[in-house]
Structure 1
Amino acid sequence: MIDSRLNLLIAVCEYGTVTAAAEALYRSPSGVSKQLKELAAELDVDLLERHGRRVRLTPAGQRLVTHARALNAQWETALSDTTAAARQLCGPVTLGGFPTAISSLLTPAVVRLRKDHRLLQPVIKEVFSSETLTALESGTIDLGLFVADEATSHVADSHVEVISLLDDPIDLLVPEDHRFAHSTGVSLEDAADEEWISGHAHQDAYIELLAATRAIGYAPRVAHFAQELTATTAMVAAGLGISAVPRIAMSGLHPRVVQIPLTGDQMPRRRIMLALRRGSHDNPRIATAITALRDSATGSEALQPHGSVRHDTMPTDT
């Protein structure tokens, strides 16, 4: 097994502070700091140095991270080769993703995996896009779904393989008595005078909406801010504004709102990517899980084009 302290050093390299790395790995900062000091003492080199309020890797620390990533890739290749020799597909495989990916993609994939491979042990973990890289490198997950706009630059590294999984269209969400409620499609130009409900400026919902509207010459007038879907649909249902939501997020039922496809030249969408540790692709457990995820993406009813759809049942779970 690869020394787990090497993955702690990689996390500090990614996040810039021991505290941030510890939080991402669900460890205590003091515990991470202690283990890295032990590693440095064993190697008789300085791995970290202070730089203002942050820490940065010394040249020796940077060199060790490079070797650690190469060792991780070799270890994944060894695991893949060993697992391929097994007569039956068995053992754990952990799939990570953000909330809407869990409901629409990961859950049906795991149901299929459990049905087709009874000795396989698939596990779902909620992991936000910005945490995907560290979760992969630390071994918390084996596969991770993330939104490209949030994390492409953070995840697309030489030690991680990234695969495009699907494009998720952004639909319009309006109250049932809105002027768009009976439309089969609405362009962003038609909605230029509307008040919007969107995420905060740093959140992906706002970033996607702003980019799409700016491309056609205006910025949305955001009246209320919310990223969580239940809160957003409650405000839309109350007539406080309209919203733009990813199509797969609307696979459940929500109160007194109408979901309408956006049309026109500027149709916002988000790219959902699949990330895995380099060297693990040939592991039969992981390859089988990738196939199940691709099948989920291809067969997802939530992604099928449709006209206006009314949701008038209260959700039982947030």
Structure 2
Amino acid sequence: MIDARLHLLVAVCEYGTVTAAAEALYRSPSGVSKQLKELAAELDVDLLERHGRRVRLTPAGRRLVTHARALNAQWETALSDTTAAARELCGPIVLGAFPTAIPSILTPAVLRLAAEHRLLEPVVKEVFSGEILTALESGAVDLGLYVADESTSRIGDSHVEVTGLFDDPIDLLVPEGHRFAGDGPVRLEDAAEEEWISGHAHQDAYIELAAATRAIGYAPRVAHYVQELTATTALVAAGLGIAAVPRIAVTVPHPAVVQVPLTGEQVPRRRILLALRRGSGDNPRVAAAVAALRASLPGHGTA
């Protein structure tokens, strides 16, 4: 068994502070600090040093993290091999995902796992896309779904394996009775004169919408700056604008709102990726969770 304090050190490296690492791992900051001090004392080296109000790893600490990551990958391989000999899958498996993936993908996946492996203990954890790789490397989750963009493209020499899962199209959300609320899909070009409800400039909703409209020659006229789906739906239902929403996000229809698919050359979409710790893919628990996730995708598709 790998010393649990090494996981704490890796988490501090990933999250940047003892407090953030402790929160991610459901520990107290004082407890994490105490265990890392004990580890440093046993090794007779300084692992952390003060840098203003934060701490950072010393050269010795960074080197130990490198070894810890290699050990973690070997441990994942050992767990996979050992678990493969078990007659029945059991124990916890933590699935992390961004909020809109939880009702549409993780929930049916967990139900499937519970039905097929009664001793398995799936746990759902909400993790935003920009934090999923860190959560994996620190051990906070066992596998994770996230949206590919510039902020989540860091894999490099990471001890995380990433594969494509599926593309999630962006649809229009319009009020009932709107000219787009007919039977068929519409082109994004046809919405050039509409008023939009979207996120702030730094948020996903706006970035995705602006990129798609810019490609066809216009900038969206944003009337209200909202990203959270419930609030967006309420504004759309009130007739205050239209919105662009991921297809998997709308799991509970609103009686006064219509979800309309887009067509044409510029249909915005999100690329959804699946990430695992390196060496864990052959672990039967992880493999079962991945199979359940894939079986829960829209249309049962795979990338």
Normalised to the residue count of structure 2, the TM-score between the two structures is 0.91
Q: Quick one: structure 1 residues 118 and 169, their matched pair in 2 at CA, closer, same or farther if it must change by over 3 Å?
A: same
Q: Note if contact 1:104-1:300 (Cα within 8 Å) is conserved in structure 2.
A: no
What secondary structure is seen at the aligned counterpart in 2 of 1:189? helix
Tell me how far apart the structure 1 counterparts of residues 91 and 21 of structure 2 sit (CA, whole Å).
Answer: 28
User: Deviation digits for residues 145-164 of structure 1, max 9, x if unmatched?
Assistant: 11112753245653111121
Q: Quick one: structure 1 residues 19 and 70, their matched pair in 2 at CA, closer, same or farther if it must change by over 3 Å?
A: same
Aligned to 2:2: 2
Tell me how far apart the structure 2 counterparts of residues 187 and 142 of structure 1 sit (CA, whole Å).
Answer: 40
Aligned to 1:234: 234
Output the amino acid matched with 1:262: L
What secondary structure is seen at the aligned counterpart in 2 of 1:190? helix
* Sequence identity percentage: 80
Tell me how far apart the structure 2 counterparts of residues 41 and 219 of structure 1 sit (CA, whole Å).
Answer: 59
Aligned to 1:293: 293
Output the amino acid matched with 1:214: R
Q: Name stretches of at least 5 consecutive residues in structure 2 with no aligned partner.
A: none
Aligned to 1:81: 81
Output the amino acid matched with 1:137: E
What secondary structure is seen at the aligned counterpart in 1 of 2:267? coil
Q: Quick one: structure 1 residues 10 and 122, their matched pair in 2 at CA, closer, same or farther if it must change by over 3 Å?
A: same
Structure 1 residue 260 and structure 2 residue 260: aligned? yes
Aligned to 2:162: 162
Stretch deviating more after TM superposition (70-79 or 216-225): 216-225
Tell me how far apart the structure 2 counterparts of residues 286 and 125 of structure 1 sit (CA, whole Å).
Answer: 15
Output the amino acid matched with 1:115: A
Aligned to 2:175: 175
Stretch deviating more after TM superposition (36-45 or 229-238): 36-45
Structure 1 residue 12 and structure 2 residue 12: aligned? yes
* Pairing 1:24-173 to 2, within 5 Å after superposition: 24-149=24-149, 151-154=151-154, 157-173=157-173
Q: Quick one: structure 1 residues 202 and 54, their matched pair in 2 at CA, closer, same or farther if it must change by over 3 Å?
A: farther
1:141 Cα offset (Å)? 2.0
Q: Note if contact 1:171-1:261 (Cα within 8 Å) is conserved in structure 2.
A: yes
Tell me how far apart the structure 2 counterparts of residues 139 and 79 of structure 1 sit (CA, whole Å).
Answer: 14
Output the amino acid matched with 2:78: A
Structure 1 residue 243 and structure 2 residue 240: aligned? no
Output the amino acid matched with 1:275: A
* Pairing 1:203-214 to 2, within 5 Å after superposition: 203-214=203-214
What secondary structure is seen at the aligned counterpart in 1 of 2:190? coil
1:29 Cα offset (Å)? 3.1
1:101 Cα offset (Å)? 1.1
Q: Note if contact 1:130-1:154 (Cα within 8 Å) is conserved in structure 2.
A: no
